[in-house]
Structure 1
Amino acid sequence: MFGIGSTELLVILVVALIVIGPSKLPDLMKTLGKGMAEFRRMSSDVKSTLEAEVDRAEREQKQAEAQKQQAPAHAEAAAAAPTQPEAAKAAAPGKEAPSA
């Protein structure tokens, strides 16, 4: 915990007991514990929010790259393949294609 060993923690508690006094020490420790719990909760919330935003950004980037890769393939396929009305006219030169 914070790089403090058990011996150092014991010394800190003894000094706090002498400085603060035995009557106020439990209240101080309770307040300190609540503060630490709130800090951990807030840091956990920030961490999860950041991870969610990073995941969302990566997902959007992958989708954009996939669309960029698919766009040229669709353009080439559309240019190479004749459209439906032109194919119908080529199949039946004397007949017109039915209109919608």
Structure 2
Amino acid sequence: MGSFGGMEILIVLMVILLFFGAKRIPELARGIGQGMNEFRKASDQIKQELEQGEKEGLKSDSKTKAKTKTKANTNKESEESKVN
């Protein structure tokens, strides 16, 4: 399938005009615009939630690493005190 040229687009627009009528086309365009707007808002909200979850995950990982390091240091110190 090739790309659409100017003539094909004109024919599609004429068919839409005949099918829906001149009065309904602005309503359809408005509805399509509102739908796209809602979709964009929803996708932005999902992106924000994912970024927040990612940040919280990184914070959780750093806390876990700090706890592990503290436990390792405590274990090392207790082993050294047993040896001495």
User: Taking structure 1 as the reference length, what is the TM-score of the superposition?
Assistant: 0.60
1:46 aligns with 2:43: no
RMSD: 2.8
Partner of 1:33: 33
How far apart are residue 15 of structure 1 and its match? 2.9
How far apart are residue 9 of structure 1 and its match? 6.0
**Larger RCO (CA within 8 A; separation ≥ 6):** 2
2:6, 2:67 → 1: CA distance? 57
How far apart are residue 13 of structure 1 and its match? 3.5
Distance 1:41 1:5, change over 3 A: farther
Please give the per-residue CA displacement for 1:18-51, whole angstroms capped at 9, x wherever unaligned.
2111111001111110111011001110111012
More displaced stretch, 35-44 vs 72-81: 72-81
Partner of 1:56: 56
More displaced stretch, 14-23 vs 41-50: 14-23
- Greater Rg over alpha carbons, structure: 1
Unpaired segments ≥5 residues, structure 2: none
- Amino acid in the other structure paired with 1:58: L
Aligned residues: 78
User: Taking structure 2 as the reference length, what is the TM-score of the superposition?
Assistant: 0.70
More displaced stretch, 64-73 vs 5-14: 5-14
